[in-house]
Amino acid sequence: MVQVRVRMLGTLRDAAADSEDLALEGEVDVSGIVRRLVEEHGERLAGLLLDSVLLNPLPNALILLNGVEINNLEGLRTVVRDGDVLTLLPIAHGG
Amino acid sequence: MTEAAPPCTKCHEKPSIYLRPYSGERLCAGCFIDFVRERVARTIARFKMFEFDSRIAVGVSGGKDSLNLLHLLVEIEEKFPRAEVIAVSIDEGVKGYRDEALRLTEEACRRLGVESLILSFEELFGLTMDEIVAKTEDGELTPCSYCGVLRRRAMNEAAKRVGADRLATAHNLDDMAQTALLNMMRGDLRRLATMHPAGSDLRGFVRRVKPFCEVPERESTLYAYLKGVEFQGVPCPYAEEAMRTDIRLFLNRMEVKRPGTKFIVYRTALSIIPKLRGGTAELGGLCKACGEPTQGEICRVCQLLGELHKDI
């Protein structure tokens, strides 16, 4: 069992939660966590997080694993480990 | 815990936290922050945005880009003791949304010791944005069409009131690339000509400059996070500019598939602008109703307000 803390900032925290701990079975990558969050929190989070054509969060969000942007690791295929912290930042327009 | 990332390609010491997909550089947090500051400072110098003694009004909405810009300009202008930075904000009157943003702005100004001025749509135009939306629900124009025109006037008015000779706005690379494509797709060459980040000296307008124009929104987001800028949790309830939204989504997808796309669109627009009427937007005269500069007889602000106030 792997425990991962997910932190969501900005408009995402309104659609989901500030922070939540996920218990995961087996080997899970970042895309698996994103899928699980969308399943848990439904359309509102999906609309903010996922690009509707690519069905991928990268155009809309900056994702950091333990403070490192995931494109600097293995992207959405980066495998998470016990104790990791995943931070999701919306790249909302306007500002 | 997941293994450390490769070392920073700039300092070669600390582990990198960010891969810049369009250049292949991997940067640590410190080098990333330095890089953003240097890029903004270079943009200011290249486009000769300020004088050594400019009084700079910074348009601060409370969003991450404008708070970043305020922090950076205060830092950069410290080297120019005769330059001044003042925050100007507009309260459009959108309940819930603007309240949070103004609180974030006030906190930032207090921390940085920056003078600030807030003007509201209500005091300038006699209506809040919430009232405008309620009155125009069945109309053809979107809330953004009203807000954009009125906010532009309000920002200019605020900059004039604080005696500024420059108005710095936090348009980032994404905004610039979207505006370029939007105006090309609409065939609006006049507006394309006015998007130049250096602005231009037009009678009645405080010169508008865009020092953040070469910072991608993704990097602005990371910069804000690393600097501890609080992120707005409430989105504008009226934000829906259909064509711009389509273009934004398209460009974001293209950037993921082909990194560098936004820079190419922006730079292409910059190379076209000088060929359009010398790169400036000429204004005809003064509005017969309010005396502000306009291309026609009555300015767009007075046209919109005339419609809105008709049945009051």
Is A95 within the bounds of a domain? no
Q: Which residue of B has its CA nearest to A61?
A: B218
Residue A31 in contact with partner chain B when CB distance is under 8 A:
no
Domain containing residue A51: 2-90
Span of A76-80, B99-103, B121-125, B224-228 with lowest mean pLDDT: B99-103
> Can you give the pLDDT at residue A53?
87
Give whole-number Cα distances, A86 to A5, A46, A76, B263, in Å.
6, 17, 12, 29
Is A12 within the bounds of a domain? yes
Residue in A68, A81, A95 closest to B63 by CB = A95
Using an 8 Å CB-CB cutoff, list chain A residues near B240. Answer: none
To the nearest whole Å, the CA of B78 is away from the closest chain A CA by: 24
Whether B18 and A58 lie within 8 Å, measured CB to CB? no
Residue B5 in contact with partner chain A when CB distance is under 8 A:
yes
To the nearest whole Å, the CA of B256 is away from the closest chain A CA by: 6
- Residue B113: pLDDT above 70? yes
**What interhelical angle do B64-77 and B217-226 show, nearest 10?**
70
How confident is the prediction along chain A (95 residues), in pLDDT tens digits per residue? Answer: 899 999 999 888 877 778 889 999 989 999 999 999 999 988 888 988 998 888 889 989 999 999 999 999 999 999 999 999 999 999 875 54
Whichever domain contains A49, its CATH number is 3.10.20.30
Categorize the per-residue pLDDT at B1 as very low, low, confident or very high, splitting at 50, 70 and 90. low
Whether B221 and A89 lie within 8 Å, measured CB to CB? yes
> What is the average per-residue pLDDT within B64-72?
95
Residue A14 in contact with partner chain B when CB distance is under 8 A:
yes
Listed in sequence order, the residues at least 6 apart from B136 whose beta carbon sits closer than 8 Å to its beta carbon are B143, B146, B308
To the nearest whole Å, the CA of B200 is away from the closest chain A CA by: 23
Contact assessment for residue B90 and residue B120, using Cβ atoms and an 8 Å cutoff: yes
Contact assessment for residue B57 and residue B159, using Cβ atoms and an 8 Å cutoff: yes
Contact assessment for residue B2 and residue A84, using Cβ atoms and an 8 Å cutoff: yes
Q: What is the pLDDT of residues B78-88, one digit of tens each?
A: 899 999 999 99
Categorize the per-residue pLDDT at B278 as very low, low, confident or very high, splitting at 50, 70 and 90. low
Q: How far apart are CA B52 and CA B37, in angstroms?
A: 18
To the nearest whole Å, the CA of A26 is away from the closest chain B CA by: 15
Categorize the per-residue pLDDT at B71 as very low, low, confident or very high, splitting at 50, 70 and 90. very high
Residue B239 in contact with partner chain A when CB distance is under 8 A:
yes
Residue in B18, B239, B248 closest to A69 by CB = B18
Span of B1-10, B95-104, B272-281 with lowest mean pLDDT: B272-281
Residue B235 in contact with partner chain A when CB distance is under 8 A:
yes
The DSSP bridge partners found for residue A3 are A23
Residue B287 in contact with partner chain A when CB distance is under 8 A:
no
Contact assessment for residue B266 and residue B176, using Cβ atoms and an 8 Å cutoff: yes
Q: How far apart are CA B220 and CA B64, in angstroms?
A: 7
Residue A68 in contact with partner chain B when CB distance is under 8 A:
yes
Residue A78 in contact with partner chain B when CB distance is under 8 A:
yes
Using an 8 Å CB-CB cutoff, list chain A residues near B225. Answer: 9, 62, 64, 87, 89
Strands (E), B92-194: 115-120, 166-168
Listed in sequence order, the residues at least 6 apart from B250 whose beta carbon sits closer than 8 Å to its beta carbon are none
- Residue B205: pLDDT above 60? yes
> Can you give the pLDDT at residue B130?
93
Name the nearest CA neighbour of B200 among B151, B177, B166.
B166
To the nearest whole Å, the CA of B150 is away from the closest chain A CA by: 16
Determine the length of chain A: 95
Regarding an ipTM greater than 0.90, the answer is: yes
Question: What is the number of structural domains in chain A?
Answer: 1
Is A70 within the bounds of a domain? yes
Instruction: Tell me which fold the domain B40-281 belongs to.
Output: Rossmann fold (3.40.50)
| B103 residue type, one letter | R
Provide the b/e sequence for B84-93 (b: ≥16 CB within 10 Å).
Answer: bbbbbbbbbb
Whether B2 and A67 lie within 8 Å, measured CB to CB? no
Using an 8 Å CB-CB cutoff, list chain A residues near B235. Answer: 11, 92, 94
> Can you give the pLDDT at residue B282?
58
Residue B236 in contact with partner chain A when CB distance is under 8 A:
yes
> What is the average per-residue pLDDT within B7-32?
95
- Residue B69: pLDDT above 80? yes
Q: What is the DSSP code (8-state) at residue B5?
A: P
To the nearest whole Å, the CA of A11 is away from the closest chain B CA by: 4
Q: How far apart are CA B215 and CA B219, in angstroms?
A: 6
| Per-domain residue ranges of chain B | 40-281
Contact assessment for residue B205 and residue B250, using Cβ atoms and an 8 Å cutoff: no
> What is the average per-residue pLDDT within B100-111?
91
To 5 degrees, how large is the angle CA B84–CA B41–CA B17? 125
Residue A66 in contact with partner chain B when CB distance is under 8 A:
yes
Whether B252 and A60 lie within 8 Å, measured CB to CB? yes
Contact assessment for residue B53 and residue B197, using Cβ atoms and an 8 Å cutoff: no
Is A23 within the bounds of a domain? yes
- Residue B241: pLDDT above 90? no
Residue B219 in contact with partner chain A when CB distance is under 8 A:
no
Q: How many CB atoms lie within 10 A of CB B195?
A: 21
Q: What is the DSSP code (8-state) at residue A18?
A: S
| B218 residue type, one letter | R
pTM for this entry: 0.92
Q: Which residue has the higher pLDDT, B98 or B44?
A: B44
> Can you give the pLDDT at residue B287?
86
> Can you give the pLDDT at residue B204?
83
Contact assessment for residue B308 and residue B132, using Cβ atoms and an 8 Å cutoff: yes
